[in-house]
Amino acid sequence: MTDREFALSVVRTLQSAGFTALWAGGCVRDEFLGLVPEDYDVATSARPEQLRPLFRRRNEIGAHFGVVQVIGPKKADGTWHTIEVASFRSDGAYTDGRRPDTVTFSTPEEDAQRRDFTVNGMFFDPVRNELLDFVGGRADLDAKVLRAIGDPFARFTEDKLRILRAARMATRFGLAIDPTTRDAAQQMAPQVSVVSAERVAEELRKLFAHPNRTRGLALLRELGLIEPILPELTPSADRASAALAALSEVGGRLPFPLAFAVTLHAVGRAVTERVAERLKLSNVESDRLCWLVANQSVLTDAEVMRPSKLKPLLVHPGIDDLLALHRALATATGGSLAPVEFCTRVLRDTPPEELNPPPVLTGADLIARGLKPGPAFKRLLDAVREAQLEGRAATKEQGHALVTRLLAEPGDAPEPPPG
């Protein structure tokens, strides 16, 4: 069963029980654009408690807001089909700028008015193959216009993240922002600073990973969103301009850390670390992002770099992203692509076991010699590994010989174990 088939079955079940049930929001938009929706949402006249006899497996954590997650059969990948089923509702005040304080169950027409943009405010009956559009979403979709539903100031006041979402949606779907909506977004842009870091980061992930990310960054600047969410790019226009130029050289969908590294390349590692911490990026994202920014120019001298320095870079899990970053920045600044091409040839022509051979000596080998782990202990292992990568210590015997020579030199050799 596909997601679409499960979503259709949920609508059929609700309609068979006498309720109005429709696909709602983004899935309707995507269907009309010929895209495969990431997920399907169902809006219905049924109240949360009326869903219980219809759907045995469900999650009612959002029932207070009229939302119940219906759980279907298991997919081939081991996850479960899930659909959010929401009762038609009108929202009360948004005191926290994110969720309504109260909800009132209502009609499809009233429900549409609470949504953010017209292209997200359409309903579709997949059983009758009928569009229900109370906000002009289809006309705006055809005209490629992003327009807030009703008063844009009211929509953005309800949820400040919608201002950032306007830039992301216009980027994703190639839409022009309606002038009234754009003016409201520009005036209210500073208020995005009250939105949680996690929600801002999720919008940035979607924006920068998209092939139209260059326009996305331009829209962030146009709407005045750089200062409240990425103030590190504001000290000079050149930084943002350099990021735009570099982004234009990186095509297709990209991992977020790479796209974000291109954007932040001019601010350096220390500032990038602060950005990652403020946005509460995952450890994996933060580590890759900061590594890329820190090493953005390290391959410039790849053709003359010592093998012990180059090989660890070439076997790093982020090497493909680093090469893409080098290529983008070199192209944007008129720099040479020779280092990227050199590294690409080395990766293509060199066996993996030569780039990253098993260490000829390990800590256990040094302990067997009677040495005690510590800072000098590590320096011995690093020296042997360097010699190995440069072809001077290809065997365990040669590694031990090097350790013997190093121990004989003046310095802080590892201490023998006590006793």
pLDDT by residue, tens only, the chain of 419 residues: 899 999 999 999 999 999 999 999 999 999 999 999 999 999 999 999 999 999 989 888 877 888 999 999 988 888 999 999 999 988 656 666 556 666 688 899 999 999 999 999 999 999 999 999 999 999 999 999 999 999 999 999 999 999 999 999 999 999 999 999 999 999 999 999 999 999 999 999 999 988 888 899 999 999 999 999 999 988 766 777 777 788 777 777 889 999 999 999 989 999 999 999 999 999 999 999 999 999 999 999 999 999 999 999 999 999 999 999 999 889 888 899 999 999 999 999 999 999 999 999 999 999 998 888 888 888 999 999 999 999 999 999 999 999 999 988 876 555 555 54
Which two three-digit tokens encode residue 121? 């405010």
Classify residue 149: in a domain, yes or no.
Answer: no
Q: Note whether residue 126 is domain-resident.
A: yes
φ/ψ of 44, rounded to 5, equals: -150, 160
Instruction: Among 355, 381, 398, identify where a domain stops.
Output: 355
SS3 of 21, please? strand
289 lies in a domain? no
CATH number of the domain residue 113 falls in: 3.30.460.10
The boundaries of the domain holding residue 36 are: 1-140
Instruction: Examine the domain organization and report whether 37 and 125 are in the same domain.
Output: yes
Whether 403 and 300 map to the same domain: the answer is no
| Domain annotation covers residue 276 | no
Residue 52 domain-assigned (yes or no): yes
Same domain, 36 and 135: yes
Instruction: Report yes or no on 380 lying in a domain.
Output: yes
Q: Residue 327 and residue 341: Cα distance in Å, rounded?
A: 9
* Alpha-carbon torsion, ordered 394, 395, 401, 406, to 10 deg: 50
Residues 233-260 have pLDDT tens digits of 887 667 777 777 887 777 778 899 999 9
3-state helix, strand, coil in the chain (%, to 5): 55, 10, 35
Token pair recorded at residue 281: 């990026």
What is the count of structural domains for the chain?
3
Same domain for 32 and 89? yes
**Is beta strand 145-146 parallel, antiparallel or unpaired with respect to 176-177?**
parallel
Residues 398, 319 share a domain: no
For 19-66, where are the E strands, in sequence order? 21-24, 41-44, 58-59
> What is the reported pLDDT for 272?
96
Are 11 and 72 found together in one domain?
A: yes
Residue 88: partners with Cβ closer than 8 Å, 6 or more residues away = 20, 43, 44, 45, 105, 106, 107, 108, 110, 111
Residues 311 and 378 in one domain: no
| Residue 349 and residue 395 share a domain | no
Is-contact 393 384, C-beta < 8 A? yes
Q: Is residue 162 part of a domain?
A: no
Tokens 């220390």 identify what position? Answer: 270
Q: Is residue 307 part of a domain?
A: yes
Distance from CA of residue 281 to its chain's centroid?
9
Query: How many Cβ atoms sit within 10 Å of the Cβ of residue 20?
Result: 17
Q: Are residues 6 and 30 in the same domain?
A: yes
Last residue of a domain, one of 337, 355, 373: 355
